[in-house]
Copies of this chain bind each other. A is one copy, B any other.
């Protein structure tokens, strides 16, 4: 792991990362962008805006390393990365006329005067080349110094993300990256990581040379499989084994997240959607409308948090609320049916549960959550029991509601989306 040379090391620079107010998420962005190259990071160092600390971090790299540095590239005196690196590598800082021209053009387009910090932003340690920034002012800087390949990126996440593709293309040109690995992904909703890993065992035994990993998402667990040179042909067969094993658990093979998958399916099939939410309070609608283009299929919904809203806005009978309670099969069926009718949608999903910390009972402990679905074929319902705290139970409920819509859209909504019995949290 920590071999003599040739490792990826990341140095994240910034006081805010060492005061607990901001987590270093840029290192993950760099790792994910390099993931296709099967480059695994050997060390992340998070250091303050301090010359000695940045220098010490550089001392912990060795010739042959690929070193990404994020942060400290702005125009103020506490942006030290360029200066410290130049001193550390014993090279001068040059003014880069190309960077200057680009910055001036950027200011001109925005109709503002050139920033007084422009001199500093045009400085480039000799040996590095500027990579223009498509979304911000600070360029990326790439090149070899002291036997290491360096990549300097701004710390502002959108600017860093915007620069990564161009920077990686530059590293590929320079031969500084291993060949990209072919990969496949299977995204699953609502299924616990440990079980999913177990169910990959046969495929892993059949294809031991492939690289396997499991990533948690807001919606469930992703399986990622990658192949080195010469093994690419095994990926398709391994994917088929996974598809046979997981069946309808897989919601995407193209990297799309669960809300995007639902919106894409509904739009392609010309189905309109609506939501009726109690315990999730609007988060299912919030997730669907996070997808650009959701208006092609999403009509809207009812947030029926109080029982009175369930009666008045969704037509849930008072007798149901009294006899069965708001968290019950009859309640979510009536919520979904009322929502579908009132919003004029083809499919409506409903959620009513006890997220906690209060409200639980022996019969309906915290985590008990009913999901309902109304389609042209009728109404369906399923009880799930989530194991988390309030925030986690609500997130699991959102994923369960979205996955019910996804399954209903995939199979034409003629029958219960839960009829295959492969939903994990069934109570």
A residues near B, CB below 8 A? 1-2, 17-25, 27-32, 35, 40-48, 50, 52-53, 56-57, 60, 158, 213, 215-216, 275, 277, 279-286, 288-290, 292-295, 298-306, 308-309, 312-313, 342-344, 356-358, 389-391, 394
> 3 shortest A-B CB distances, which residue pairs?
A282-B282, A281-B289, A20-B31
Please name the residue on chain B nearest to A60 by beta carbon. B60
Give chain B residues whose Cβ lies under 8 Å from the Cβ of A295.
Answer: 305-306
Bound complex: CA of A275 vs CA of B391, how far in Å? Answer: 20
CB distance from A55 to the nearest CB of B (A): 9
CB distance from A321 to the nearest CB of B (A): 14
Given A286-B286, A305-B289, is A18 in contact with B47 using a C-beta cutoff of 8 Å?
no
Question: Which among B44, B46, B282 is the interface contact of A281 at CB below 8 angstroms?
Answer: B282
Given A19-B31, A46-B27, A289-B282, is A306 in contact with B302 using a C-beta cutoff of 8 Å?
no
**A and B contact pairs by CB, cutoff 8 A, 20 listed:** A2-B56, A19-B35, A19-B41, A20-B27, A20-B30, A21-B28, A23-B27, A24-B44, A43-B53, A158-B389, A277-B285, A281-B285, A281-B289, A281-B294, A289-B394, A292-B356, A292-B390, A293-B358, A308-B344, A312-B344
Are B41 and A44 touching (Cβ within 8 A)? no
Give chain B residues whose Cβ lies under 8 Å from the Cβ of A343.
Answer: 309, 312-313
Consensus secondary structure, chain A interface: mixed
CB distance from A35 to the nearest CB of B (A): 6
Give chain B residues whose Cβ lies under 8 Å from the Cβ of A308.
Answer: 299, 344
Question: Which among B35, B53, B305, B358 is the interface contact of A300 at CB below 8 angstroms?
Answer: B305
Please name the residue on chain B nearest to A217 by beta carbon. B21
Given A1-B48, A43-B46, A215-B21, is A285 in contact with B303 using a C-beta cutoff of 8 Å?
yes
Are A303 and B275 touching (Cβ within 8 A)? yes
CB distance from A117 to the nearest CB of B (A): 14
Give chain B residues whose Cβ lies under 8 Å from the Cβ of A56.
Answer: 2, 43
CB distance from A20 to the nearest CB of B (A): 3
Are A305 and B298 touching (Cβ within 8 A)? yes
Bound complex: CA of A343 vs CA of B299, how far in Å? Answer: 19
Give chain B residues whose Cβ lies under 8 Å from the Cβ of A20.
Answer: 27-32, 35
Bound complex: CA of A22 vs CA of B44, how far in Å? Answer: 13
CB distance from A79 to the nearest CB of B (A): 15
Please name the residue on chain B nearest to A390 by beta carbon. B292
Given A52-B1, A309-B343, is A288 in contact with B281 using a C-beta cutoff of 8 Å?
yes
Are A290 and B394 touching (Cβ within 8 A)? yes
